[in-house]
Amino acid sequence: MRWSSCTCLGLLIALITITSVQANTYDAVNDFTAGNNPSGQWSYLYSSTIGGLQTALTPSGDFPGSTNPWDWSGENVPDSVSVIKNTSGTPTTYESTIVQPTNLLLVDPEEDAADVQWKAPTTGIYDISGVFQNIDQSGHTDSHPVEVLLNNSALLPLYSSTISSSDGSATFNFDQLVAAGDTLDFVVAGSPSNYQFLSTGFDATISVPEPSLGLVLMGGLILRRTISYRTLET
């Protein structure tokens, strides 16, 4: 039996389609929208401690000194946990010492733990990269933890570091197998004795890497050899 050229072409197209699925990319800053929590794959939460019982932040008015309403707030100080997007187009200054650029969310935990959470839509090995950065220019920022957790589990953090005035930036980049419905929790934490000057800039990009062109070409070569073998058999 000979394979027709149409059949061969169809199989090759199917193989390429399977091996070159479009990569989905999620970005904490770009995906942030006002008025919805959760918003797509993202949620904005807080808890009393890292890995603790989570509560959804509720929408509030403008952050003091801000000209945009893109924030979520819990209670009054020292529990006014906030996650804010700067939509002004230029760096925005709050309370004279906090300077938020447009490419970072402002995450302020005060005495709690602020959590920007992402939920996986499908199972896969995701590429996870981003940064936590001190954006309070007062010089009084005490050391406070920043972590990336899987399913809000504080026992084995995927990433852990600290932010302070002297060590003001922590970047991360790793791959992680995540099941559909699992969450990645990007946490900035304070404490009852340390709730001032903790405003932290944050962004994360999460994506499924696209298969390489080499994989597609290899698949085509294997299919070609299979077709040739079948042809010789007949």
* Lowest-confidence region among 47-61, 101-115, 162-176: 47-61
What pLDDT score was predicted for residue 231? 46
Query: Is the pLDDT confidence value at 23 over 70?
Result: no
- In the numeric block, the tokens 């169809």 are attached to 10
Count Cβ atoms within 10 A of the Cβ of residue 37 and give its class: 0-12 exposed, 13-18 middle, 19 or more buried.
middle
> What value does the mean pLDDT of the chain take?
80
127-180 residue pLDDT tens: 999 999 999 989 888 899 999 999 999 999 999 999 988 778 999 999 999 999
What pLDDT score was predicted for residue 11? 43
Handedness of CA 92, 98, 101, 103 (dihedral sign): negative
Task: Report if pTM > 0.85.
Answer: no
Distance CA 108, CA 131 (A): 15
% of the chain with per-residue pLDDT over 90: 52
| Range picked from 3-12, 96-105, 126-135, 225-234 for highest mean pLDDT | 126-135
226 vs 80, higher pLDDT: 80
Query: Is the pLDDT confidence value at 224 over 70?
Result: no
What pLDDT score was predicted for residue 142? 86
